[in-house]
Amino acid sequence: MTSRVSHTTIDCHDAYALSQWWKQVLGYVDVEDDPNEPGHDECMILAADGSHRLLFIEVPEPKTVKNRIHLDLMAVEGSRDDETDRVLALGATPVEDHRTAGGRGWLVMADPEGNEFCIVRTPEEQAATGD
């Protein structure tokens, strides 16, 4: 017997606002028949194909330390750096740049509430540097 991940939960201050931001980043949608609305303290979004769900839950305490778990994002179209520019334009904040001059590495970013996530290279970019 095994388990499967039902969804990934992110504690936050404003579940609605953060779910809307992540919908833009990931192209996720609201759960059919359960739309997210301002004031909701729990907001679920899911991949368009239903393969993954994110649940945002409001909590009273602020974020104080680095996340122990985070999402690694990979561009669907374009490169790691193209995706970095796109999420910066949506309001992400750079945290740590681990990109190298040779094209390897990743960038640690934060969402509008400070939750860290990384942007990694695509398989094409990895193949180009022999990874």
Out of 1.10.10.60, 3.40.50.12780, 3.40.50.150, 3.30.720.120, select the CATH number for domain 8-58.
3.30.720.120
Q: What is the pLDDT of residue 102?
A: 86
Q: What is the pLDDT of residue 101?
A: 87
Q: What is the pLDDT of residue 130?
A: 78
Ranges of CATH 3.30.720.120 domains, the chain: 8-58
How many other CB atoms are found less than 10 A from the CB of residue 22?
Answer: 22
Q: What is the pLDDT of residue 129?
A: 84
- First-last CA distance in the chain: 35
Q: What is the pTM of this model?
A: 0.92
Distance CA 126, CA 102 (A): 11
For residue 30, give Cα distances in angstroms to 37, 46, 59.
10, 6, 21
What residue ranges of the chain have pLDDT lower than 50? Answer: none
User: Is the CATH number 3.30.720 carried by domain 71-128?
Assistant: yes
